[in-house]
Amino acid sequence: MNFEKICVLGLGYIGLPTASTFATHGVRVIGVDVDQRVVGVLRSGEIHIHEPGLRTRVQAAFRSGTLQVSDTPEKADAFIIAVPTPIRDDKTADMRAVISATEAITPHLAPGNLVVLESTSPPRTTVDLVRPILERGGLKAGGDFHLAYSPERVLPGQILRELIENARVIGGIDHASAEAGAELYRTFVCGDILLTDATTAEMVKLMENTYRDINIAAANEFARLAHEFGINFWEARRLANLHPRVEILKAGPGVGGHCISVDPWFLVEAAPKCTPLIRQAREINDSQPAFVVGLLEKALGGLAGKQIAALGLSYKPDVDDLRESPAITIVELMIEAGARVCTFEPFKPEAVVPGAAPAVSLEEALSGADALVLLVDHEQFRSLDPALIAGLLPGRLAVDTRGVWGAEWKDAGFQLQTLGKGKNDG
């Protein structure tokens, strides 16, 4: 097949890196987003998300003349759907963006085209949801056009490298579709390209993230047990992980981001009777913010009227992504418990949690605070000098929910409370 021109629908954390990478590899790309603000920002030469190296790649794509941005798709050789699949409050998948992106492609679909769904989706979405919409145009999937599912497995913060280097799974509704997908992604993928069927490919993605969620839930539960038994989870973890077949993940304030905290619910929704473990792991991770706030309340003898400096709001270190962030839930719970909270998120200083005061600098966040709580282990927070902080923070309590601060905090005169440290050994 010859892929001279492609349309990428959805220009978010996955679509924009994908569109710009195809474009810098010589393919003509129409990047489509229904959000006029996104289209406007990109047309002005800026980008709307923070991802290392992305601005440079997008600008290179524009300079080479191969990338264009639009609010509607047009005729192309291939279409890639990379739109969000959020969950609703009742934990069911909201597939509206996939449905409308697919509907937008249907009128432009021509014989020989390839359509690839990349959005993380419940099992059978490609065959049961996307296929019938595309076939409304009169063409048959498999016979007239190719249809495949290819999960995106890149790690935010390392997207540009992983997009190229990671192995890529491509599941076709038939073998020819999988082959067509392989040919498309070979444009830039250096990792292995692994062919399978569409529903298996959907499950691969959901299984990977569910596996991680369950393992983080185990780590969080071990950390709670450490408080119960007066031991240090981090030390026990280090020793356990010396076993050749054990790899306990890190305990933390909970699981955020748009992937791991969402995807397992797709399996629970699709097959509730088969998924008690998956549901339980989600519930454990979702209740971790309350556990953290409980630690803080205990250390401060209640939160009412206390001034807390909350460091970090993003869902994990060194990214600006606040989606489903447990740090935000913790701030909300502290406010509910009567605390006055000042937040500082260096990757998004303008981010506001209702009821909290956003600080634009560390100094501002610490000023007047009774305690500081580390919610995200951004590099700049990991390497904070406690002696310097001691001069800025009136209170003497430091709470570390990431297990990254050590004895130097005690040396600087702080009472250090670390998640997972049931005994105060620094």
Q: How far is the CB of 209 from ligand SAJ (least distance, A)?
A: 5
End-to-end CA distance of the chain: 61
Rounded CA-CA distance 116/334 in Å is: 43
**Which position among 17, 122, 156, 395 is part of the footprint of ligand SAJ (CB under 6 A)?**
156
Q: How far is the CB of 300 from ligand SAJ (least distance, A)?
A: 24
Complex with ligand SAJ: residue 31 or 403, whichever CB lies closer: 403
**Which position among 18, 209, 329, 418 is part of the footprint of ligand SAJ (CB under 6 A)?**
209
Complex with ligand SAJ: residue 73 or 123, whichever CB lies closer: 123
Helix (H, G, I), strand (E, B) or coil at 219: helix
Q: How far is the CB of 156 from ligand SAJ (least distance, A)?
A: 5
Residue 205 falls in the annotated catalytic set: yes
Complex with ligand SAJ: residue 3 or 266, whichever CB lies closer: 266
CA dihedral 83, 85, 88, 91 (to 10 degrees): -170
Binding of residue 212 to ligand SAJ (CB under 6 A):
yes
The stretch near ligand SAJ (CB under 6 A) out of 55-63, 175-183, 208-216, 329-337 is: 208-216
Angle at 59 between CA 58 and CA 63, to 5 degrees: 120
Site residues for ligand SAJ, 113-132, by CB under 6 A, read 120
The stretch near ligand SAJ (CB under 6 A) out of 51-59, 60-68, 121-129, 250-258 is: 250-258
The stretch near ligand SAJ (CB under 6 A) out of 168-176, 246-254, 329-337, 415-423 is: 246-254
Rounded-to-5 percentages of helix, strand, coil across the chain:
40, 15, 45
- DSSP run (H or E) holding 114: strand 114-117
Site residues for ligand SAJ, 349-388, by CB under 6 A, read none
Q: How far is the CB of 409 from ligand SAJ (least distance, A)?
A: 21
Which residue shows structure tokens 């390497």?
A: 383
Complex with ligand SAJ: residue 173 or 259, whichever CB lies closer: 259
Rounded CA-CA distance 171/153 in Å is: 14
Closest CA to 112 of 75, 159, 61, 158: 75
The stretch near ligand SAJ (CB under 6 A) out of 76-84, 86-94, 154-162, 169-177 is: 154-162
Residue 259 falls in the annotated catalytic set: yes
**Which position among 257, 289, 312, 420 is part of the footprint of ligand SAJ (CB under 6 A)?**
257
User: Binders of ligand SAJ: how many residues, by CB under 6 A?
Assistant: 20
Q: How far is the CB of 172 from ligand SAJ (least distance, A)?
A: 21
Whole-angstrom CA distances from 180 to 39, 171, 185, 255, 366 are 29, 10, 9, 36, 56
Residue showing the smallest CB distance to ligand SAJ in the complex? 259
The two three-digit tokens of residue 157, written as one number? 């913060």
Full DSSP string of 32-56: E-S-HHHHHHHHTT--SS--TTHHH
- Could you tell me which residues come within 8 angstroms of residue 128 by beta carbon, excluding any fewer than 6 positions away? none
Show the binding pattern over residues 2-41: x = contacts ligand SAJ (CB under 6 A), - = does not.
----------------------------------------
Considering 7, 250, 259, 306, which one is annotated as catalytic? Answer: 259
Beta-carbon neighbour count of residue 90 at 10 Å? 7
Binding of residue 155 to ligand SAJ (CB under 6 A):
yes
Complex with ligand SAJ: residue 29 or 154, whichever CB lies closer: 154
**Which position among 34, 60, 207, 249 is part of the footprint of ligand SAJ (CB under 6 A)?**
249
Contact (Cβ atoms closer than 8 angstroms) between residue 253 and residue 295: no
HSE at residue 266, side-chain half, CA atoms within 13 A, is: 27
Considering 5, 75, 91, 205, which one is annotated as catalytic? Answer: 205
Q: How far is the CB of 363 from ligand SAJ (least distance, A)?
A: 26
Closest CA to 41 of 27, 29, 54, 52: 54
Contact (Cβ atoms closer than 8 angstroms) between residue 112 and residue 141: no
The residue type of 381 is F
Site residues for ligand SAJ, 300-339, by CB under 6 A, read 315-316
Rounded CA-CA distance 317/9 in Å is: 28
Rounded CA-CA distance 102/7 in Å is: 12
- Interface ranges with ligand SAJ (CB under 6 A): 120, 152-156, 208-209, 212, 216, 249-250, 252, 255-257, 259-260, 315-316
**Catalytic site positions:** 205, 259
